[in-house]
Amino acid sequence: MLHAQVAFLRRLDELGAVVPVRSSGGQRRYSRREINRVAALMKLISEGLTLEGARRVLELQARVEELEADLDQARGQ
């Protein structure tokens, strides 16, 4: 699906960039949200960012979305 190397997925898990649930046998199980996050990380890395840089970009994007939602809520009150 993503054509991601297993070692890359393990690294993402080790760094906490993506946190899949584990099956009873210890296999990683990725939700749709995590798959989208892996895809976004892969895209940013392919554009020249380091893994840590790509992680930070996604964190900042999520924070901007939170702040925009807060602002929208405040404007609505």
Whether 49 maps to a domain, the answer reads: yes
Q: Is 17 within the bounds of a domain?
A: yes
Structure confidence by residue, pLDDT tens digits, 38-77? 999 999 999 999 999 999 999 999 999 999 999 999 998 7
Residue, of 5 and 77, whose pLDDT is higher: 5
Residue 67 in domain: yes
pLDDT of residue 2: 82
Cβ of 22: how many Cβ atoms within 10 Å? Answer: 11
Residue 36 within any structural domain of the chain: yes
Domains contained in the chain, number: 1
CATH (domain of 13): 1.10.1660.10
Assigned domain for 1 exists: no
| pLDDT for position 77 | 72
Q: Which domain, by its residues, includes 17?
A: 6-76
- In-domain check, residue 12: yes
Instruction: Give one word for 19, left, alpha or beta, with left for phi > 0 and alpha for psi -120 to 50.
Output: beta
